[in-house]
Amino acid sequence: MKSLFFLASCCIMIACAFPPQKKLKIWLVGDSTISIKDPKAYPETGWGMPFVNFWDSSVTVENRAVNGRSTRTFIEENRWTPIVAGLQEGDYVFIQFGHNDEVPSKKSYVPETDYKTYLEKYIRETKDKKATPVLITPVARRKFDSSGHIMETHAVYAQLVRNVAAAQQVALIDLDKLSQQLLEKMGSKSSAYLFNHLLPGQHPNYPEGKEDDTHFSELGARKMAEIVLAEIQRQQLPVSSRIIIPAKK
């Protein structure tokens, strides 16, 4: 009987010493490079899709990224307001725009000054809810020069993200720079496996084939998610303690 009492006391002490972590949400806000894809788009994969598999049970990932959206259109379409309404103290908001903001010919175009203003709005309204904003530079496109070196495709807008993060003193994941490094290391030929490249007849969703150097294959999405996760750990963001490595099947 005494041994049972001792065992119960030890369990209580352990439970008190290691209380369960408070549940939180990580909200992903951005464009098609992150978003959840329709089955008809497969094997195109947003990096937010594998990202959900690297967290313990105390974390829920809310992937609200949408194809083709910019900092402005995401707000105009009333996609941001519901997120702000749902934010709880301790949550995180990962913000990655730029692909659609930077192209003047697109309806989603956002001039540089406005891009900065919108990023500041996301940060301010996230902080107002006592949640943590994390800015992410737009992930690199696969574009190599004639000598086989990766080319910068987001120079202006990626730098704007860096500037805003520094001025607002928020965490920055420089996915533009880090993904360029990965593509450079892999080289022009091998890096194609990271993107939605398909030969004619290779997949029923793309009977004519596909050469897309912006959107990812499953492998590419996984690699980009791993870059983001590695940066969360390297920067020792508090949420990094909740990252897990999925068991291999």
59 touches 26 (CB < 8 A): yes
Q: In the chain, which residues have pLDDT < 70? A: 1-20, 246-249
120 as an active site residue: the answer is no
99 as an active site residue: the answer is no
126-167 pLDDT, tens digit per residue, is: 999 999 999 999 999 999 999 999 999 999 999 999 999 999
- From 76, 77, 112, 211, active-site residue: 211
Domains and CATH numbers, the chain: 23-242 (3.40.50.1110)
215 as an active site residue: the answer is yes
Alpha-carbon torsion angle 180, 248, 66, 171, nearest 10: -60
Q: Where in the chain does DSSP place strands (E)?
A: 24-30, 59-63, 92-96, 132-136, 171-173, 195-198, 210-216
Locate 188 and state its tokens.
């022009």
- From 99, 154, 197, 215, active-site residue: 215
Whole-number pLDDT of residue 153: 95
80 touches 126 (CB < 8 A): no
pTM score of the predicted model: 0.90
Whole-number pLDDT of residue 18: 46
Tell me how far CA of residue 2 lies from CA of 6, 7, 16, 160, 236, in angstroms. 6, 9, 21, 66, 44
Locate 110 and state its tokens.
């956002």
222-239 pLDDT, tens digit per residue, is: 999 999 999 999 999 999
Q: Which DSSP letter does residue 21 get?
A: P
122 touches 95 (CB < 8 A): yes
- From 32, 35, 70, 108, active-site residue: 32
Whole-number pLDDT of residue 248: 59
